[in-house]
């Protein structure tokens, strides 16, 4: 009898049942049939920006980037940007947007500089990890080499231009291989800036903030850049970004 009354209450057709009777009765009914209570769907919670897993073990880039550097860089720096951006967007109209849209929406907006800085740094780091792989580096595969040659003369021309961008970025920032209309170009960006907000397609990046290399190379940024190009670049990732 009670169960019948409760089932009707669940359907909202038993007026006069108190809330307490309803809740207790529903729980009893659910327990009686071993069922799980089905609650009304909540408004969709904003999906937090997540720290994606590293695409390899933190010692996989040894000896060019040590596990010491990688564990701090990923586990402390990258994670802090994720935590910060989630705090900053909570309850705002940006909270439901995917990361890339947050970056583009806040670029160049001085009032939203802190959100941009943290969101772009999350995006940049995720892209940087994928720009490298164990046993990477060296000359690109043929289809990509054709595009590299068209833009920079040859692979050495690319290396020279990319290294120069990485070396001459004064202070913290990034160097990028990017594309516009299928044509490759190299650029450097300060702090958290990236090619997304410039309408370019990012292809590869190297982090030249000191935290990226100081534990392994101290002030020798050139050695870090050379190790990246000769031993770490993930050309498969670059090709996928260019769809060649
Ligand atoms: Mn970094």
C-alpha 56/C-alpha 143 separation (Å) is 26
Q: Is the pLDDT of residue 41 over 50?
A: no
Is the residue at 147 inside a domain? yes
Is the residue at 91 inside a domain? no
> What is the arithmetic mean of pLDDT over 141-166?
96
Distance 88 CA to ligand 1 centre (A): 20
Work out the burial of residue 33: count CB atoms within 10 Å of its CB; fewer than 13 is exposed, 13-18 middle, 19 or more buried: exposed
Is the residue at 233 inside a domain? yes
Q: What is the pLDDT of residue 93?
A: 94
What is the chain's length? 244
Q: Is the pLDDT of residue 33 over 80?
A: no
Distance 125 CA to ligand 1 centre (A): 6
Distance 13 CA to ligand 1 centre (A): 60
Q: What is the pLDDT of residue 17?
A: 39
pLDDT class of 37 with cuts at 50, 70, 90: low
> What is the number of structural domains in the chain?
2
Q: Is the pLDDT of residue 2 over 80?
A: no
Q: Are 144 and 244 a contacting pair, CB within 8 Å?
A: yes
Distance 96 CA to ligand 1 centre (A): 25
Q: What is the pLDDT of residue 181?
A: 87
Mean residue pLDDT of the chain comes to 86
C-alpha 170/C-alpha 208 separation (Å) is 9
> What is the arithmetic mean of pLDDT over 193-208?
96
Q: Is the pLDDT of residue 176 over 60?
A: yes
Q: Of 10-14, 32-36, 40-44, 171-175, give the lowest mean pLDDT range.
A: 10-14
Which of 155 and 181 is assigned the larger pLDDT?
155
Distance 55 CA to ligand 1 centre (A): 16
pLDDT class of 186 with cuts at 50, 70, 90: very high
Domain containing 192 equals 142-242
Distance 209 CA to ligand 1 centre (A): 6
Distance 239 CA to ligand 1 centre (A): 23
Is the residue at 189 inside a domain? yes
C-alpha 92/C-alpha 115 separation (Å) is 11
Distance 160 CA to ligand 1 centre (A): 23
Q: What is the pLDDT of residue 29?
A: 43
Is the residue at 52 inside a domain? no
Q: What is the pLDDT of residue 24?
A: 40
Q: What is the pLDDT of residue 232?
A: 98
pLDDT class of 36 with cuts at 50, 70, 90: low
Which CATH number covers residue 183?
3.55.40.20
Per-residue CA distances from 229 to 20, 187, 204 (Å): 68, 16, 11
Is the residue at 59 inside a domain? no
Q: Is the pLDDT of residue 12 over 70?
A: no
Q: What is the pLDDT of residue 243?
A: 83
Is the residue at 79 inside a domain? no
105-139 confidence digits (pLDDT tens) = 999 999 999 999 999 999 999 999 999 999 999 99
Is the residue at 128 inside a domain? no
């Amino acid at each position: 009898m009670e169960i019948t009354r409760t089932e009707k209450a669940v359907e909202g057709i038993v007026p006069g049942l108190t809330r307490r009777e309803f809740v207790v009765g529903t729980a009893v009914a659910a327990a009686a049939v071993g069922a799980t209570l089905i609650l009304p769907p909540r408004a969709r919670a904003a999906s937090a920006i997540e720290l994606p897993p590293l695409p390899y073990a933190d010692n996989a880039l040894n000896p060019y980037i040590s596990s010491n550097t990688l564990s701090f860089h990923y586990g402390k720096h990258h994670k802090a940007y994720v935590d910060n951006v989630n705090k900053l967007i909570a309850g705002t109209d940006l909270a439901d947007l995917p990361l890339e849209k947050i970056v583009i929406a806040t670029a160049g907006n001085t009032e939203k500089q802190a959100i941009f800085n943290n969101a772009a740094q999350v995006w940049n780091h995720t892209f940087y990890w994928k720009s490298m792989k164990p046993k990477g580096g060296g000359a690109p595969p043929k289809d990509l080499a054709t595009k590299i040659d068209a833009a920079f003369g040859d692979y050495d021309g690319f290396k020279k231009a990319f290294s120069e961008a990485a070396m001459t970025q004064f202070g913290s920032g990034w160097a990028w291989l990017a594309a516009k209309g299928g044509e490759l170009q190299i650029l450097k960006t300060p702090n958290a800036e990236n090619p997304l907000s410039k309408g370019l397609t990012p292809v590869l990046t190297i982090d030249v903030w000191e935290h990226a290399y100081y534990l392994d190379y101290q002030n020798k940024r050139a050695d870090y850049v050379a190790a990246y190009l000769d031993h770490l670049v993930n050309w498969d990732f670059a090709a996928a970004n260019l769809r060649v």
